[in-house]
Amino acid sequence: MYHQHSTQHIGQHLTKHLILKLTQTLIHKLPKFNRLLTFSLLLGLITLASILPTQTAYAATTSNSSTTSTKSELTTPKIIKQTTEALPNCLNWKLIGECFWLKCNLFGCKIVVTPKIGHYRPDLVVSVYPTINSHPWKEVKKLTKQSFKPIKKLLPKHLRNALSSQGTDPATNPTTYSRNTRFFEADVIGHPLQNLSFKGADFFCESTTRPLKFHYSSLLDIIAWRNPEFEVWNINLFSPGKREIGNFPTFTWGSVYPRSGWVNQPSPPKAAAVIAQRASDIAINGGKSRVRKKLTNTTRSNQWPPLSLQEANGATGKFQMLHPVKSKSCEAFGTNDLTTLADWGGDKTDVKNSYMWTLWRPYKCCPRGGQTFLGSDDVKGYP
């Protein structure tokens, strides 16, 4: 009883918080737009109050875990809450054009125009961690440990030992590895904040991901993730500076390729960011013989989801840090901190070397206005 009451209370708190943030973000975007659209949006936000508590309570209840996270772990409700707190800075909701529809009835046909919208939305949660026991997402850690335990027994001894070791520590054998060489596991999971289902939700684009769905896990891609030579024949390995997270050769945090868990980077937070970029690249962009679950392809003619993810390019995706620092803004990795007094990762180091981000990606869409979609135009480019 107490657990159910707690999850409902958290859901209600998150609902009020989400409505406040969405209202603050959107209301100043519509000063000259028609009253019907404004009314629909506000009506939808009010309707959301009856939806989100149930979804949040469901996510917390099915995980069978406490809603109070420890300093080194986050629960699903906490992830939703921290994501909604970044809406004013990360959503970037804009009217960018118009869509044209043919609407017909018994009395004839007419052209209907609806607004074309662009905005970022939280698509994926990317976790980077040295071992399963140090996974920063509490429910996922429990699920992973239970699921992977029987599989682990079937692995060769050296792989079992590798999974149990603290791979993030710099290599201790200088004749074999660089002192800055680190190893991380990573997974990319659909963000738990679901698509909104109410009338005003037409003015928000649907995600190509599904809540809590694994799109990539290095534990399932265990061979390729632990062997950089697996992608040795990829052309990107022979093109210096082509896939660098930064501005090569001036500065770089690391390379996207080879997309393995090994990275040479003295700063643990930057090393984790490179791993997060690689795991996201596999989940979204794919690759030959990589074990992943593809993102859902939309069949709607009135929605234009992002096609790919490019490093150091915020127009294709931005990361919001959830752990160990609770950030309320989004950024693309690869910031040049050579000319600043503080290192980018200086205040982001975690004791357990576990890190988590929400990946926000840009979408374009328009609400349905008739039976047949005729086309659209972009008055303003997006993003």
CA distance 274 to 128: 10
Give the helix, strand, coil percentages of the chain, each rounded to 5.
Answer: 35, 25, 45
- Kindly report the backbone phi and psi dihedral angles of residue 126, in degrees, each rounded to the nearest multiple of 5, phi listed first: -110, 120
Q: Pick the closest to residue 139 from 87, 207, 214, 82 (CA basis).
A: 214
Residue 9 lies in a domain: no
pLDDT at 370: 94
Sequence-ordered list of residues with C-beta below 8 angstroms from that of 23, at least 6 positions apart, any chain? 42, 45
Question: Quick one: tokens of 334?
Answer: 């690869």
Residue 380 lies in a domain: no
Residue 5 lies in a domain: no
Residue 102 lies in a domain: no
CA distance 105 to 371: 10
Range of the domain at 202: 73-94+116-367
- Give alpha helix (H) positions in 114-156: 138-152
Residue 288 lies in a domain: yes
* Identity of the amino acid at 273: A
Exposed, middle or buried by CB within 10 Å (0-12, 13-18, 19+), for 379?
A: exposed
CA distance 119 to 304: 11
Q: Which residue positions in the chain have pLDDT lower than 50? A: 1-20, 22-23, 25-27, 29-70, 166-176
Residue 304 lies in a domain: yes
Q: C-alpha angle 228/231/233, rounded to 5°?
A: 130
Question: Quick one: tokens of 143?
Answer: 């699920």
pLDDT at 81: 95
Residue 265 lies in a domain: yes
pLDDT at 199: 62
Residue 277 lies in a domain: yes
CA distance 293 to 128: 18
pLDDT at 162: 64
Which residues in 4-13 are b (16+ Cβ under 10 Å) and which e?
eebbbebbee
Question: Quick one: tokens of 175?
Answer: 């004749």
Domain count, the chain: 1
